[in-house]
């Protein structure tokens, strides 16, 4: 293992190179820009034999991904926030057409008001699109999940696209030590892309056809089943990944000091690092607090969540998003997973639009949960309301 | 017929995927009244009205979506096509 200190975006670009995509259509948007700049340089320098397509919008970027994937190429793109919003129509098409596209999402807030800073609203708004969604805690996870995502997506029993989500700026622009795997190992793990079906003049086939009412529901059912099956595939290939690369991804949810915890914090992404530090300090003060890190939001691992949280007295969900008029999206899912257990689930919407979340905030949230105060926007500045 | 993965279709799939089930009303052609003008064939957006050897027309109900344009455009002199509600 050779650790190198790299910017997250560059580490991701180098990892994508190792996965050998043949076509990369991309449109730069903050905070994803360094990834596609990095990939453009890699291709221009002859370090990756791939077609880089400078498209004129994110809608075109994913459309070109669909074209390249149906033609039998392994493809990659990356986007964020408004770019993902502009892709929306194509996002649903890519999933319905069951194309194994991997796309990096540098999580960023959604306008309006305009914000380039981090929260997870962009990928969360795509939760019903039929894409797999993986969330990285640090840059090592971000690069590992890219490799893992290709393996899962290209399994002929799955055939789904995947978002690999990592917090914009917090991960994408931060220099951290990462272990970049060797080309030989990645080649061995992934192998060459073997499309299930592709455009071929000798064997004509049309993709993305319309379905009449007699067929549409069955297509949706089969798509849904594939997303559910992806949970086991992620675990299976995550275990294989661990055996080959030394970092295990066989669990969709990861506990931290959760075994004997009375209060469980539930979170996704880079905030988990802050939460772990806060938990260490609270444990030193005798508070039995633990963390459940959701690595995978779609498919949602309801059974794993319910099992991991079965013994706690209180659940506090940290949501870097809000389903306006309802609650945070993660809290809604956690409540569904824990339905019938009578464990109170409190939702704390925080860190929106890049608002900093510090250890003291996590401790304050634990105090609020202990008092039974929750389902709130945490950290509002009352003086500007 | 088993579904393909990813909404794919091969040439000739319209033989299996008939669109006649979309209808609420279906047209009936009275060949006695038909003046053989061909307006219905020209106007049919589905292209499912075909000329017979005796120059009359027949409607392929496997694909007719029951839009009623043929009945509407059939000249007053003939009014050979009438729309009847589907019994489902």
A128: closest CA of chain B, how far (Å) = 17
Best of B5, B6, B14, B88 to disrupt the A interface (most A CBs within 10 Å) is B6
Phi, psi torsion values for A282, nearest 5 degrees = -70, -35
Instruction: Say how far apart CA A102 and CA A197 lie, in whole Å.
Output: 17
Decide: A126 and A297 in contact? Cβ < 8 Å: no
Tell the burial category of B88 from Cβ atoms under 10 Å away from its Cβ (0-12, 13-18, 19+).
exposed
Contact B7 A222 (CB under 8 A): no
Instruction: Say how far apart CA B86 and CA B88 lie, in whole Å.
Output: 6
Is residue A211 very low, low, confident or very high in pLDDT (cuts 50, 70, 90)?
confident
Question: Which structure tokens are listed for B5?
Answer: 């993965």
Chains A and B form CB pairs within 8 A to the count of 48
Residue ranges of the alpha helices (H) in A77-117?
Answer: 81-86, 88-96
Residue A159's region, left for phi above 0, alpha for psi from -120 to 50, else beta, is: left
Is residue A250 very low, low, confident or very high in pLDDT (cuts 50, 70, 90)?
very high
| pLDDT for residue A259 | 97
Contact B6 A211 (CB under 8 A): no
Decide: A37 and A8 in contact? Cβ < 8 Å: no
Chain A residues in contact with B22 by the CB 8 A cut-off are 212-213
| Location of structure tokens 């994803």 | A32
Contact B10 A205 (CB under 8 A): yes
Q: What DSSP state is assigned to residue A215?
A: T
Residue pLDDT, tens place only, A315-335: 999 999 999 999 999 999 999
Residue pLDDT, tens place only, B44-84: 999 999 999 989 899 999 999 999 999 999 998 879 999 99
Per-residue pLDDT averaged across B27-36, rounded? 92
| pLDDT for residue A37 | 98
Residue pLDDT, tens place only, A65-93: 999 999 999 999 999 999 999 999 999 99
Chain A residues in contact with B17 by the CB 8 A cut-off are 212, 215
**Which range has the worst mean pLDDT, A306-310, A371-375, B13-17?**
B13-17
Chain A residues in contact with B11 by the CB 8 A cut-off are 204
Residue B88 has pLDDT above 70, yes or no: no
Instruction: Say how far apart CA A79 and CA A12 lie, in whole Å.
Output: 13
| pLDDT for residue A171 | 98
Closest CA to A14 of A195, A160, A142: A142
Instruction: Tell me what the pLDDT averaged over chain B comes to.
Output: 90
Decide: B63 and B18 in contact? Cβ < 8 Å: yes
Per-residue pLDDT averaged across A361-376, rounded? 98
């Amino acid at each position: 293992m050779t650790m190198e200190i790299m910017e997250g975006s560059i580490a991701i670009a180098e990892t994508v190179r190792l996965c050998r995509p043949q076509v990369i259509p991309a449109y730069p948007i903050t905070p994803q820009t360094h990834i596609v700049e990095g990939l453009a340089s890699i291709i221009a320098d002859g370090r990756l034999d791939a077609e880089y397509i400078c498209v004129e919008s994110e809608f075109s970027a994913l459309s070109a991904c669909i074209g390249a994937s149906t033609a039998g190429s392994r493809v990659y793109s990356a986007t964020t926030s408004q770019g993902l919003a502009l892709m929306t129509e194509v996002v649903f098409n890519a999933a319905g057409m069951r194309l194994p596209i991997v796309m990096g999402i540098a999580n960023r807030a959604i306008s309006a008001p305009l914000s380039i800073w981090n929260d997870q609203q962009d990928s969360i708004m795509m939760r019903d699109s039929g894409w797999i969604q993986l969330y990285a805690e640090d840059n090592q996870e971000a690069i590992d999940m890219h490799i893992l995502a290709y393996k899962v997506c290209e399994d002929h029993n799955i055939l789904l696209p995947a978002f690999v989500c990592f917090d914009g700026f917090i991960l994408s622009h931060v220099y951290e030590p990462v272990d970049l795997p060797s080309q030989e190992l990645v080649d061995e793990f992934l192998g060459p892309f073997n499309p299930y079906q592709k455009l071929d003049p000798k064997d004509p086939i049309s993709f993305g056809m319309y379905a009449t009412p007699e067929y549409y529901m069955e297509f949706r059912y089969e798509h849904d089943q594939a997303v559910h099956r992806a949970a086991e595939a992620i675990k299976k290939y995550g275990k294989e990944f661990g055996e080959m690369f030394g970092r295990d991804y066989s669990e969709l949810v990861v506990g931290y000091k959760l075994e004997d915890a009375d209060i469980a914090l539930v979170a996704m992404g880079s905030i988990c690092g802050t939460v772990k530090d806060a938990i260490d300090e609270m444990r030193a003060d005798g508070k039995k607090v633990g963390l459940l890190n959701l690595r995978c939001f779609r498919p949602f691992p309801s059974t794993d969540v319910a099992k991991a949280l079965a013994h706690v007295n209180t659940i506090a969900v940290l949501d870097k998003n809000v389903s306006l008029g309802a609650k945070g999206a993660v809290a809604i899912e956690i409540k569904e997973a824990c339905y019938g257990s009578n464990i109170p689930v409190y939702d704390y919407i925080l860190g929106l639009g890049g608002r900093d979340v510090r250890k003291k905030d996590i401790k304050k949230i634990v105090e609020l949960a202990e008092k039974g105060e929750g389902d709130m926007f945490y950290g509002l500045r009352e003086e500007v309301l | 017929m088993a579904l393909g993965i990813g909404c794919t279709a091969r040439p000739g799939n319209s033989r299996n995927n008939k669109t006649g089930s979309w209808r609420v009303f279906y047209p009936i052609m009275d060949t006695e009244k038909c003046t053989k003008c061909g307006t219905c064939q020209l106007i049919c957006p589905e292209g499912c009205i075909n000329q017979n050897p005796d120059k009359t027309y027949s409607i392929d109900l496997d694909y007719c979506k029951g839009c009623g344009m043929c009945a509407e455009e059939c000249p007053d002199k003939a009014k050979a096509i009438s729309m009847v509600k589907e019994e489902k």
